């Protein structure tokens, strides 16, 4: 009885990992910039634990962006830093 449950759980984890890997390097870099801005705002408000967590997420997203840029043959994106603005949101479809 446990075997089908374990197989379902393993399949779900692998599927989630595969779906999460579909972003391009520019999408990952955009994510890094958004997390950097969140980190900056949290630090301004004295929420240093939140700022630390968002800074780590920005670093992870930038790392993913660099790896994907290498795979795609694109130039490496710059490391996000304090004060970097996130990219503008995509235009809304009518």
Q: Do 90 and 34 touch, CB atoms closer than 8 A?
A: no
Residue 87 lies in a domain: no
Residue 6 lies in a domain: no
pLDDT of 12 higher than 90: no
Which tens digit of pLDDT belongs to each residue from 32-83?
Answer: 999 999 999 999 999 999 999 999 999 999 999 999 999 999 999 988 888 8
What element of type H or E holds 37?
A: helix 25-44
Dist CA 29 CA 13 (whole Å) = 25
Q: What is the domain extent for residue 37?
A: 23-82
Residue 47 lies in a domain: yes
Residue 75 lies in a domain: yes
The total number of structural domains in the chain stands at: 1
Residue 66 lies in a domain: yes
Residue 27 lies in a domain: yes
């Amino acid at each position: 009885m446990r075997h089908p449950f374990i197989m379902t759980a393993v399949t779900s984890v692998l599927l989630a990992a595969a779906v999460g890997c579909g972003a391009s390097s520019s999408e990952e870099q955009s994510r890094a910039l958004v997390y950097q801005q969140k980190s900056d705002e949290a630090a301004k408000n004295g929420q240093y634990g939140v700022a630390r967590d968002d800074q780590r997420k920005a670093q992870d997203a930038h790392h993913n962006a660099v790896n994907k840029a290498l795979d795609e043959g694109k130039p490496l994106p710059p490391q996000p830093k304090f004060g970097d603005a996130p990219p503008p949101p995509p235009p809304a479809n009518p």
